[in-house]
Structure 1
């Protein structure tokens, strides 16, 4: 898979793989400590830890992941992603987003500042390689967007059934610093699941990937994801809240089934008078 193929695959997976939200009744202060594993064709290739802090009017999150198992035989990789912002009218409003990923001798360092849904500042190293057929990202593509981490937060309004099919009707306009794309969910079924911190039903939603800019239309990996109809997100409720978090994300690839699955979803209260801390993705060698 070429570099853009990896970007497209990461775009579809990354919004769920590197993003979780802590449940909070009436926006009470809380912290989520979560762990996930990643497998490809049944072989473990990665693992990660997530910490999300939510105060009354602010949120911050940090996720760390590394390659593991057979993947280390081909390339050793690790990365950190972080997001922070405000909570207004029950919505998560991103302000800063950063990613640092290193695999082998290559790396990506991305930092983005967002205000009211509009990208105000963006730095990316290394710069994307110019291609004559790449659909250009315009200023219009940087408005009314979410970063991948914030875009995966799912809070269900009202008092209805969290497992109702209409809960899957979600649409997220994502800009990850290189590519502008939409992720759309649609209801598929209900499954029963169990992991540390949760046992019960999971709402299974189909995931549809639609790139808008920052990609080359003729690339095989992009076409594959656009045409893919078997990607799934398994969402589970946290008791006492209106928030769903990813238990599992399934993405078929040409190399086998890619699966992200939670091994822990632990929630605890923040200490009194503690506010969400600012987290930026640090550079690591």
Structure 2
């Protein structure tokens, strides 16, 4: 896995959802959060995400593109989106989509959910002639799962419980479990938010839809990722504001730079 692939995968799979819903006491509000991405301190990308809460419905739409040094290495751009219902304990996705391109290659994914179960999924390009080391996704592994966007929007009023969970992700290609454990608290400050952040150590466990011989995935599965969650728009929803992912060329960081509410 190259740093460019890791940027795409983690920024869309992990940091892209770093947007919290707005105050539910109003009919409709939009929270816009900006992000920057860097490798060993050098800027390589940027992202912007809008989250809308409208009654018992929610939606997230985001854009990602290369920037700074990343623009010199690769022309990368993508969009991601999810919509669904707001429940008492979580955000229940119904429709998830991802569309991104890097240089002359393009990937698309569409996934439908109902009650936490995948009901339909399509990806492009389709996998052809998998290697003998390829581990397919089993139908039984597509129950009680979440998409990569709403999956990291953690609905709880107890900051101490944020890291006490495993997040079962499915994006149309792969099933991955993100196992969270507590690593303390930090203070976080940016335009639009200043306050505590809950720090989680995260390890990745591949479940299905991956190549067991992948050096990049095997390397990442042995590393500890760190994600900071903060209630940037309402007290009972924690979302990522900072992530640090080890790579073979140095740490990839994803950091919220501003948040605004309309």
Q: TM-score, normalised by structure 2?
A: 0.92
Per the TM alignment, residue 261 of structure 1 is displaced from its structure 2 partner at its CA by 0.4
Asked if structure 2 preserves the Cα contact closer than 8 Å seen for 1:58 and 1:87, the reply is yes
Structure with greater strand share of residues: 2
Contact 1:24–1:241 at 8 Å: present in 2 too? no
Report the number of matched residues: 260
Q: Cα 1:12–1:170, aligned 2, differ >3 Å: closer, same or farther?
A: farther
| Residue number in structure 2 paired with 1:96 | 95
Residues 88-117 of structure 1: CA distance to partner in whole angstroms, max 9, x if unpaired?
A: 334211110001001111000111111111
Q: Distance in 1 between matches of 2:25 and 2:13?
A: 25
Q: Distance in 1 between matches of 2:98 and 2:234?
A: 32
Select 1:221's aligned residue among 189, 197, 216: 216
Three-state SS of the structure 1 residue aligned to 2:69 is helix
**How far is 1:133 from its partner?**
1.1
Distance, in Å, in 1 between the alignment partners of 2:24 and 2:81 is 23
Q: 1:26 Cα deviation (Å)?
A: 6.1
The one-character-per-residue Cα deviations of 1:187-225 (angstroms, maximum 9, x if unpaired) are: 112222210111122211111111111112222111111
Gaps of 5+ in 1: 269-285
Measure how far apart 1:239 and its partner are: 6.3
> Which position in structure 1 is the counterpart of 2:15?
17
Q: Give 1:171 shift.
A: 1.6
In 1, are the aligned partners of 2:21 and 2:233 still within 8 Å (CA)?
no
1:247 aligns with 2:241: yes
In the TM superposition, 1:11-160 aligns within 5 A as 11-19=9-17, 20-25=19-24, 29-129=28-128, 130-157=130-157, 160=158
Determine helix, strand or coil for the equivalent of 1:141: helix
Q: Distance in 2 between matches of 1:154 and 1:69?
A: 31
- Structure 1 window deviating more from structure 2 (212-221 vs 22-31): it is 22-31
Q: Which residue of 2 aligns with 1:259?
A: 253
Match of 1:280 in 2: none
- State the Cα deviation string for residues 3-36 of structure 1 (Å, max 9, x = none): 9x937x7555533321123143568643111100
Q: Report the 3-state secondary structure (helix = DSSP H, G, I; strand = E; otherwise coil) of the residue aligned with 2:246.
A: strand
CA RMSD of aligned residues (A): 2.1
Q: d(CA) in 1 for partners of 2:56 and 2:12?
A: 25
Q: Which moved more, 1:64-73 or 1:125-134?
A: 125-134
Structure 2 vs 1, CA of residues 240 and 42 (structure 1 numbering), >3 Å: closer, same or farther?
closer
Cα gap change, 1:184 to 1:26, in 2 (>3 Å):
farther
Asked whether the 8 Å contact 2:162–2:238 carries over to 1, the reply is no
The answer to whether the 8 A contact 2:93-2:113 is kept is yes
TM-score (norm 1): 0.85
* Inter-partner Cα distance in structure 2 for 1:208 and 1:49: 25
**CA distance, structure 1, for counterparts of residue 164 and residue 11 of structure 2:** 18
Aligned-partner SS, 2:197: strand
